[in-house]
Amino acid sequence: MTPTATGCRVEPYDGELRRWLGATDHYLGNPPPGALFAVVVRRMVPGLLGVDVPAGERVGVCVVGRPVARALPQDGSVGEVVRMWLAPGLERGTASHVLRVAGEVAASRGMVALIAYHDRTRHTGCIYKMAGFRKDGATTPSGKGWASRARPMSGAYEATSKRRWRLDLTPTATGCRGVGSTLTRTRGSPWTRRRSLL
């Protein structure tokens, strides 16, 4: 069986994408209300001149917004992976690839760092390590838990400590359009990657 190739592209985080994310089986349920950008994973479909492009069915998303922690810069110089969901059965390495693409897009927008948190009771965090992130401490919930704002919490919410990861970025001069990346692989072969401006 040959796996279906997937690719990444930057898309606006609009109401339609938010509704789609809310319909997934992500354990938190509530999709974030807003974001700076989203890296969407789509199935590859034939494009012009026989070149496959990521324009098929959505099979994942990485949503990057401003940091939720108010003590971190809110000026757009630091981004936070506020939600990530991938469909089951995608190729090994897809999650870390999507995080690397998000880092490239963030750097192209002038950001100096990208942070992410993972719930240590649910994940090991190896996708962040594979994507080049480094451990940047751990957080523990206050007496109110993580629900310090008026936004409703999902039913799966638990106040557990989280590991923070940080990817330091070098801003690039590729402009504000972002960098797209296509990831393809056949069984037993290394990842093949093509970059293009979106």
Q: Is the pLDDT of residue 75 over 70?
A: yes
pLDDT of residue 139: 85
Contact between 82 and 71 under an 8 Å Cβ cutoff? The reply is no
> Domains of the chain by range and CATH?
6-145+156-186 (3.40.630.30)
* pLDDT on residue 48: 83
Determine the Cα–Cα distance for residues 124 and 197; give it in Å rounded to an integer: 33
- pLDDT for 157: 54
Strands 162-168 and 6-11, by their bridges, are unpaired
Residue percentage of the chain with pLDDT more than 90: 38
How far apart, in whole angstroms, are the C-alpha atoms of residue 195 and residue 100?
12
What is the sign, positive or negative, of the torsion defined by CA atoms of 9, 12, 13, 15?
Answer: negative
Burial of 69 (0-12, 13-18, 19+ CB in 10 A): middle
pLDDT at 102 over 50: yes
pLDDT value at position 39? 94
- pLDDT given at position 3: 52
pLDDT at 19 over 90: no
For the chain, what is the mean pLDDT? 79
pLDDT computed for residue 153 by the predictor: 52
Is 50 exceeded by the pLDDT of residue 175? no
Instruction: Look at residue 171 in the predicted model and tell me its pLDDT.
Output: 67
